[in-house]
Structure 1
């Protein structure tokens, strides 16, 4: 169990909810497969191979949202509806109007839905109720919002806030690159993206390229700001920090992974060992990132209705999520 991305949020520390109460509330919205006329279904699933919806390892919790969607491309619906519209036009002697075509497409959709293929995926979230962290393993805020929205619908209250720091990531990353020095316990790696703040949005991306020297400084002087920067923390965890304060391409290095005994008793024991190691490293990494960005804002405003629209536009969700 190793997360690949982190969309970060803050809960009260400690979060005043018991494990038993949390489990009871999630059970009210357990995952159910799509019905014959449903395009999508969402609900909580067990993170591991048991029936427990909140998987605790020590004082750290893991939950998972299951999402099942019907695969019914609009082009298929249009094709079938157009063929039927031509047949009807031949029978009645005139073409269907716009309203009739819309109704026909809705009818075709309902007829095809029961025969459509389905695709399942799951989205994991880590909750640290002691230190007030909630992190969703998602490549975008839009996908993380699927989890947050279902949590809001499930719980009596969700006192959640976006993680906010005194300095913006772009400003801090620009200073690190300009000075050629990373903050304490971090190193700057060889991947970076810089983007102009002007209307042309000119961008330059470096991959496996040294980020020292006048070339990078020239881009900074010209008005480009870093939007992504690859870094390593304490020679243990590598990641890409984005201008939206997202953690991407998260990778726990061999010095961390090698702590796991290769002869774990069973799959669950291995899963728990990985989750314990991962959360232990994240409990060190996240405060260090916040400190490097000037510290957390003193009193972040609690926003019980955090949505994807609270952040800048994000890239579309990536395909290829593992089924559950």
Structure 2
């Protein structure tokens, strides 16, 4: 279990969780498969369900709680629906000699979708996240804001409240640009990848890869007023990632040194391996986020 992306949030007030109550609350919002007329369903599932492990609705290591949201969607291709709709509309127009109006066409489309839904295939997806009570952090493995917000909304619904704000509530363009023009924080090593964006009306974007960020080429873009949108970095020789101006951490990759710490756990001991991986991963992510909070002065964001 290794997150690939991090959408970080900070609790605005301390949170306490009772394991027994938490199990009950999550079970009240447990995942259920799509019914015949459901387009999609979403609910909590066991973090170990993808590995055919236990049935626990959360997993806890120290004061870090791991949650999994499962979503099931009906796959009903628009091309299939529209093709059948066009045939039906053509038939009606031929029989009546009159064009089918917009309202009637919409009603026909709805009828077709309702009839085809029970036959549609389903697609399952999983979103993982955790709450670290000791760090007042909520971390979601998501690359898109919508996915992260859906996870938070379901968790908030189950718990009754979840007072969180994004770890960074303002753009980090200036701070990330200073990493290039001045120097990065002590434990951050910049890698050869970045995205720069102009601040004028053109909004031009420059993406570079395998280019030293202290090169003349990059310096010219910085001198022209472009700011850093994304930059690849290594943290404390433990992970590589891309830091974005909205505070998200993407393309997270942990070092072999970290991953090798679970090598002595037999592969058939699935739950033990997942437990160890989560413990290592969540600790490293929290360490990184706490470091970034200090390095980027995020604690002054008004929390």
Cα displacement string for residues 221-262 of structure 1 (whole angstroms, at most 9, x for unaligned residues): 211111100011111111110001000011110111122233
| Counterpart selection for 1:137 from 108, 116, 141 | 141
Cα displacement string for residues 102-144 of structure 1 (whole angstroms, at most 9, x for unaligned residues): 1111111101111111100000001112221101100111111
> Which is worse superposed, 4-13 or 98-107?
4-13
Specify the alignment match of 2:200 in structure 1.
198
Does residue 271 (structure 1) correspond to residue 274 (structure 2)? The answer is yes
Does the CA contact (< 8 Å) of 1:9 and 1:134 recur in 2?
yes
Superposition pairs of residues 14-53 of structure 1, within 5 angstroms: 14-48=14-48, 49-53=53-57
Q: What TM-score, normalized to structure 1?
A: 0.88
Q: Which secondary structure does the structure 1 equivalent of 2:70 belong to?
A: strand
Q: What TM-score, normalized to structure 2?
A: 0.94
Specify the alignment match of 2:86 in structure 1.
82
Specify the alignment match of 2:119 in structure 1.
115
| Counterpart selection for 1:286 from 279, 289, 293 | 289
Give the superposition deviation at 1:203.
1.1
Specify the alignment match of 1:158 in structure 2.
162
Give the superposition deviation at 1:95.
2.2
Q: Which secondary structure does the structure 2 equivalent of 1:150 belong to?
A: helix
Structure-2 change in CA distance of 1:93 and 1:295 (3 Å): closer
Q: Which secondary structure does the structure 2 equivalent of 1:296 belong to?
A: helix
Structure 1's consecutive aligned runs of 4 or more residues displaced over 4 angstroms after TM superposition are: none
Once residues 265 and 21 of structure 2 are traced to their aligned partners in structure 1, the CA distance between those partners, rounded to angstroms, is 35
Does the CA contact (< 8 Å) of 1:9 and 1:161 recur in 2?
yes
Give the superposition deviation at 1:146.
1.3
Q: Which secondary structure does the structure 1 equivalent of 2:261 belong to?
A: coil
**Could you list the runs of 5+ residues in structure 1 that have no partner in the other structure?**
301-324
Once residues 289 and 178 of structure 1 are traced to their aligned partners in structure 2, the CA distance between those partners, rounded to angstroms, is 18
Does the CA contact (< 8 Å) of 1:177 and 1:216 recur in 2?
no
Specify the alignment match of 2:174 in structure 1.
171
Specify the alignment match of 1:228 in structure 2.
230
Cα displacement string for residues 13-65 of structure 1 (whole angstroms, at most 9, x for unaligned residues): 64122222222111111001111111110010111021111111222111010
Does residue 147 (structure 1) correspond to residue 134 (structure 2)? The answer is no
Q: Which has the higher helix share?
A: 2
Q: Which secondary structure does the structure 2 equivalent of 1:201 belong to?
A: coil
Specify the alignment match of 1:241 in structure 2.
243
> Which is worse superposed, 40-49 or 255-264?
255-264
Once residues 199 and 27 of structure 1 are traced to their aligned partners in structure 2, the CA distance between those partners, rounded to angstroms, is 51
Does the CA contact (< 8 Å) of 1:170 and 1:227 recur in 2?
yes
Once residues 143 and 290 of structure 2 are traced to their aligned partners in structure 1, the CA distance between those partners, rounded to angstroms, is 21
> RMSD in angstroms over aligned alpha carbons?
1.6
Q: Which secondary structure does the structure 2 equivalent of 1:209 belong to?
A: coil
Does the CA contact (< 8 Å) of 1:14 and 1:131 recur in 2?
no
Q: How many residues align?
A: 298
Structure-2 change in CA distance of 1:101 and 1:175 (3 Å): same
Does the CA contact (< 8 Å) of 1:29 and 1:43 recur in 2?
yes
Once residues 263 and 278 of structure 1 are traced to their aligned partners in structure 2, the CA distance between those partners, rounded to angstroms, is 16
Once residues 161 and 88 of structure 2 are traced to their aligned partners in structure 1, the CA distance between those partners, rounded to angstroms, is 49
